Structure 1
């Protein structure tokens, strides 16, 4: 095992285009800089043949993801007189913070993209053509987007929603400056369109509203994917996302009640209103608990509680009560013409769900 004499890292890109190229929403240089900072390096130099002048978005991302670590952007020509050995990294070949930390500590270098040598020897790193650089960066982006799935995804999300939402995220992350807020705003607009369709659309509005509800369920995954891909996950973002989800769910049921009431089906509307009141009470209880938690704000405490049981029965029940299944189920039910019986069944299910919520949230003796 060799002993490193420097805690600095030099990230070398083949050209300015590669350094600025968006990899799942972030310039490749900014993404590499974050891994270096996470590895605990003392400083980082981003070296580009001919130099690189980051635009406003790239400069902001570099500053954000450096996390306070000193860094500089230089022309590789300026490395000619630097003889102090440092860890050299090929920018187009992403290396995790864990591997960088290991390399900085003196462990064996994991692959050819890393080299411990004087910065003036940067040309000893593998040299890439533009086509090779594009291929590597695009593969890295695909892996990042694929990794934005959540272990707790429901069966509908796994088979339908997540593949579609990741395709949307893949498209949006090609634009600089995209944030989770943009996706959350789209979800809110879909909720408004859903409610307007249900209230004012009559019979056809039921189907259109259910379609908007399903679309909102799909887009709901996009903000989280963008947040995870661009390192923008936050408690405030989780709160906004959870509140939009809850309002959308309640808005759908309220709009459905109003629609059926207008059409003269008072019995189903009353049953739906009762179920809606029960759900609102349950969400209030869960939200009150989540608000006092130090973790990210979500309405998933009941789901998390039963997921810990690792039982196929509990897992099936969780899938059947998750929003992705709920939205698709209502779309199928409304198209099949069973909206009214569905509301009555929903009211009964909501009562059972509230009992479970109260049980899970009950004070525990220590």
Structure 2
């Protein structure tokens, strides 16, 4: 809410004093103070007891648990108003505190629930995202938690997955499948924390994409090596073909993003087809996304169809590779438009 007030003050008439008024008072930790300074660096914020402050008719009361937007606050700042005061007066102090804590918890859930992405695949939307958001909600209670911590967690799961697949033998397949799915779920946490705490950045998106790509390649490489070591040479050959095509396609997509000075992610093809409303196109997009890929691979391994998983992956990878090449060719930008690496400036 302090961030929304700061935005509103920057676009409207502003105010000469900002106070966080909590029933019974509040002693913020150093971390809380640093967060207030990060989210509203231009504001001088005071902390006070709600029951002890006195205000005049020009004061604007903003109910912090209601998640009121900056636009509404900005409109209220240009005229005398009382906003969100109802329900905060009356009753015992204990009842007020219990009511406020319950509303804060609900606001926390609402904030995390809003961190989903419109481009989520079908598995992510109904399975991965609810689990990752539940994890994010709990991690966000830890002072000092940042998206980088979650990114490192995803990398650790990927490293454990690769270790199991390369060195774990037959049992390693099962462990690797579980860890790959766990990494796919946990992959959403860093973005959720970033969006919930306003820490999104191009660098974070790039690092997240690189770890995703590395995890996917490590899974195929580890599964291919594991099955080859067990004597499934034909399936391993399919896996090797799919691995080369996946790595080459990701390299081309990454080079295109870098050439256009765009955010370094590997989602160019997915974004190109996102606006297509065809059911067939949606399903083709969904089955080539990481969430479906991880879930399907884990299920096939768990039901003892790991060789079939590699063959299926190779077939999908061949189709994905040619679609990627065609999409990059059709959407290529003339050299004169990005010769200076900054086409958006013009």
TM-score (norm 1): 0.81
Which of 87, 101, 105 is equivalent to 2:78?
105
Q: What's 1:59 paired with? A: 33
| Residues 306 and 49 of structure 1: CA distance in aligned 2, closer, same or farther (over 3 Å) | closer
Q: What's 2:271 paired with? A: 304
Q: Which has the higher strand share?
A: 1
* Contact kept in structure 2, 1:89 and 1:113, CA below 8 Å: no
Q: What's 1:263 paired with? A: 230
| Residues 228 and 263 of structure 1: CA distance in aligned 2, closer, same or farther (over 3 Å) | same
* Contact kept in structure 1, 2:288 and 2:316, CA below 8 Å: no
| Per-residue CA distance 1:109-156 (angstroms, 9 max, x = gap) | 665459xxxxxxx979x9861111111111111111111111111111
* Contact kept in structure 2, 1:90 and 1:113, CA below 8 Å: no
SS at match of 2:61: strand
Q: What's 1:88 paired with? A: 61
| Per-residue CA distance 1:4-57 (angstroms, 9 max, x = gap) | xxxxxxxxxxxxxxxxxxxxxxxxxxxx21110121234523345665442110
Say which is worse superposed, 91-100 or 258-267, in terms of deviation: 91-100
SS at match of 1:325: helix
Q: What's 1:213 paired with? A: 180
Quote the Cα distance in structure 1 between the aligned partners of 2:299 and 2:86.
51
Matches within 5 A, 1:310-349: 310-349=277-316
C-alpha displacement of 1:330: 0.6
Quote the Cα distance in structure 2 between the aligned partners of 1:345 and 1:48.
58
Which of 202, 214, 221 is equivalent to 1:254?
221
Q: What's 1:71 paired with? A: 45
Gaps of 5+ in 1: 1-31, 115-121
Quote the Cα distance in structure 1 between the aligned partners of 2:297 and 2:212.
16
| Residues 54 and 111 of structure 1: CA distance in aligned 2, closer, same or farther (over 3 Å) | closer
| Residues 174 and 59 of structure 1: CA distance in aligned 2, closer, same or farther (over 3 Å) | same
| Residues 293 and 134 of structure 1: CA distance in aligned 2, closer, same or farther (over 3 Å) | farther
Quote the Cα distance in structure 1 between the aligned partners of 2:75 and 2:211.
42
Gaps of 5+ in 2: 338-346
Counterpart check, 1:196 vs 2:169: no
Which of 177, 184, 187 is equivalent to 2:154?
187
TM-score (norm 2): 0.86
Q: What's 2:211 paired with? A: 244
Quote the Cα distance in structure 1 between the aligned partners of 2:2 and 2:210.
33
Q: How many residues align?
A: 326
SS at match of 2:184: helix
C-alpha displacement of 1:71: 3.1
C-alpha displacement of 1:286: 1.1
SS at match of 1:88: coil
| Per-residue CA distance 1:66-99 (angstroms, 9 max, x = gap) | 042343335568854x657232223344322121
